[in-house]
Amino acid sequence: GFGQWSLFQDRPSYDATSQAMSGFSAITGFPGRTPLKTGIWIGDCTGALFATLGILTALYYRKKTGNGQLLDVSQGESLIRCLDWTWLYQTLANQERALFGNRDVACSPSGVFRCQDGFIGIAAISDAQFRGLCAAMGRPDLAQDLGFATLAARLEDQQNRTLHHLIEEWTLRKNAEEIESLADRHDFAAHRVSNAHAHYHDEHLRQRGAVCEFDDPLYGRVVEYG
């Protein structure tokens, strides 16, 4: 949980505590509300992934040099290494990353928006993608507005907030399928918020072999992620 040598080397660790220790919980959630635990056991998965990377690297090093390696994996520290720009923001800008909910403040526009039949993720980071989104919204004027025309302008806090609001006003009048179709036509990124039921029926995932069905001697017919 906390590595093989530290003040906390004997302290038990689980996913919830690793998310709390790493700072993941501190940046997940909506402003003015309780920090959230990520919905999956990401601390368990990430710790295992970093351990696997360490093992594979050590095996390669042994093959090249004949020498072994000592592996020390901390569940919480593995999550810290996934905090993208959080530490840079703290150390270079001397500012603490806050809770921003579904609005991305490092890419704009990028976020999760409510639509007629659920929620949808939308991102249009490059200026060309943003022009495509504006065309899909029927608002080509936004792409010409100096307050939104460049990524640097769109990242300004007030501009980011305003743009997020304008996009959600538009998505509320559309269903997810309509928005995805417009995204394909105008070259920006969009995908509905999916659950396991949607994955099961997803033609794309089945073509990829990402959803597989098999017979288990204990449970019978089982569907799993491939």
Say whether 44 is catalytic: yes
Q: Which of 10, 15, 44, 202 is catalytic?
A: 44
Q: 3-state class of 48 per DSSP?
A: helix
Q: 3-state class of 113 per DSSP?
A: strand
Q: How far is CA 5 from CA 10, 47, 198, 226, in A?
A: 9, 16, 44, 37
Task: Provide the β-strand partners of residue 216.
Answer: 220
| Burial class, 219, CB count within 10 angstroms (exposed 0-12 / middle 13-18 / buried 19+) | exposed
Length of the chain in terms of residues written: 226
Alpha-carbon gap, residue 6 to 4, rounded angstroms: 7
Which residues are identified as catalytic?
44
